[in-house]
């Protein structure tokens, strides 16, 4: 069953707002669309406090045949910019084969 696009967008936006509610979270970026191998996905970046310092977590999420798949890449915030668009490129290789 293929879910309507706005359903996925609403669901991932709700998840993003839940992340903001976490007290360890410092800030969350806006959500944006990204074209993945299996359809349109959604991505946002969360900065949170951890025992080892500020951490950046970039999430790529897609709703596919009733299941949610999330690809999350963690990196210390101070190294986040070194990766540039590499995280996006990794997400674009993600392919559901089940």
Partner 1 sequence: MERSNASGGSDISERLDTAAATSSAVSPPPPAESAADTRTRRGRRIAFGLLGLCALLVIALGALVFTHRQPPVKASSSPQASPRPDRASPPLGFADSLTDIGWQQYKPDGFSLGLPPLWIPYFKDIPNADPYLEWVATGYSDTSHPPAWLYVC
Q: Which among 94, 17, 85 has a CA at the least distance from the CA of 61? A: 94
Which positions ≥6 away from 68 have C-beta within 8 Å?
11, 61, 62
Stretch that binds partner 1, among 23-31, 42-50, 79-87 (CB under 8 A): 79-87
Determine the interface stretch with partner 1 among 23-31, 40-48, 89-97 (rule: CB under 8 A): 89-97
Binding to partner 1 by residue 74, rule CB under 8 A?
yes
Give residues in contact with partner 1 (CB under 8 A): 35-37, 66-76, 78-79, 82-83, 85-86, 89-90, 92-98
């Amino acid at each position: 069953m293929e879910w309507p696009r706005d359903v996925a967008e609403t669901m991932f936006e709700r998840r993003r707002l839940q992340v903001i509610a976490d007290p360890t979270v410092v800030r969350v970026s806006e959500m944006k669309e990204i074209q993945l191998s299996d359809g349109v996905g959604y991505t946002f970046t969360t900065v949170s406090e951890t025992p080892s310092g500020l951490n950046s977590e970039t999430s790529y999420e897609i709703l596919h045949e009733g299941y949610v798949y999330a690809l999350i890449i963690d990196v210390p915030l101070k190294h986040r910019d070194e990766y540039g668009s590499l995280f996006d490129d990794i997400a674009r290789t993600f392919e559901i084969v089940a």
